[in-house]
Amino acid sequence: MYEEIFEKYTPEKENLIYILHEIQDAHPQHYISEEAVAKVAEYLRIGLSHIYGVLTFYTMFSTKPRGKNIIRLCESPPCFLKGSENILRQLRDLLQVKTGETTADGIFTLELCACLGVCGNAPVMMINEDVYGDLTEEKVENIINSYKGGEK
């Protein structure tokens, strides 16, 4: 897997973030393992510490295994105003997890994030690459069920 990704990029530091994005997307548990960091360090000829520094700086990267689907609920002021706290409470209840945790069956990880730029439809969450807006408790339940049923 690593070789295929590396082939697309010249071994320059400026490509680090791209390579990390691709490795994380390709991993079924959406994270960057120690093994991956070592491979990237070798390919780009940069220190492990630099890569960990970058990895832990950006919120889109994870160094811990995550679920099949990653839920990112926006907690910024516009969504907060439109009731994102209620949606968060509901998601925690539905999934039986705390923020940052993965469900026992490994299907979901619940995360919070900053503004996604879809504030006209607040409150908003992203599941993987898809945006869901104008969330209500009813809507959230349907969305979660559609992923549970394996439709997505």
Partner 1 sequence: MKFYRSHILIGIDDASLAAGVKEIEALLRNELQKNNLSDEINILETGTLGHFGTGVSMLVYPEQVTYVNLKKEDIFEIVEEHFLKGRPLQRLILDRSLTQNYDFNYKRRIVLSNSGVIDPENIDEYLGAGGYEAWEKALTTMKPNELVDEVKASGLKGRGGAGFPAGLKWSFTAPIVADQKYVVVNADEGEPGTFKDRLIMEGDPHKLLEGVMLCAYAIGASKAYIYIRGEYKLCIHRLEIAIAAAREYGILGNNIFGSGFDLDIFIKVGAGAYVCGEETALIESMEGNRGTPRSKPPFPGVAGAWQKPTVVNNVETLANIPAIIKNGAKWFAAHGVDGSTGTKVYTIMGDVNLPGLCEVDMGTSLRTIIQQYAGGMIEGRTFKAALVGGAAGVFLNDTLLDVHMDYNSLREYAAVLGSGAILVMSDTVDMVDMLWSVLRFFRHESCGKCNPCSKGTALLFKLIDGIRKGKGKDSDLEQLIKVSNGMQKTSFCALGQSPCMPIASAINNFRQDFLTRINVK
Q: Alpha-carbon distance 41 to 98, whole Å?
A: 33
Which run of H or E residues covers position 34?
helix 34-44
Quote the least distance from Cβ 17 to partner 1, whole Å. Answer: 5
Quote the least distance from Cβ 133 to partner 1, whole Å. Answer: 5
Cβ distance to partner 1 smaller for residue 24 or 102: 24
Cβ distance to partner 1 smaller for residue 2 or 61: 61
Quote the least distance from Cβ 113 to partner 1, whole Å. Answer: 7
Report which of 74, 140, 62 is spatially closest to residue 101, judged by C-alpha positions: 62
Whole-angstrom CA distances from 90 to 66, 78, 80, 86, 113 are: 20, 19, 14, 6, 17
Cβ distance to partner 1 smaller for residue 28 or 117: 117
Q: Could you list the residues that contact partner 1 (CB under 8 A)?
A: 12-18, 20-21, 50, 53-54, 57-61, 75-78, 80-82, 113-122, 126, 129-134
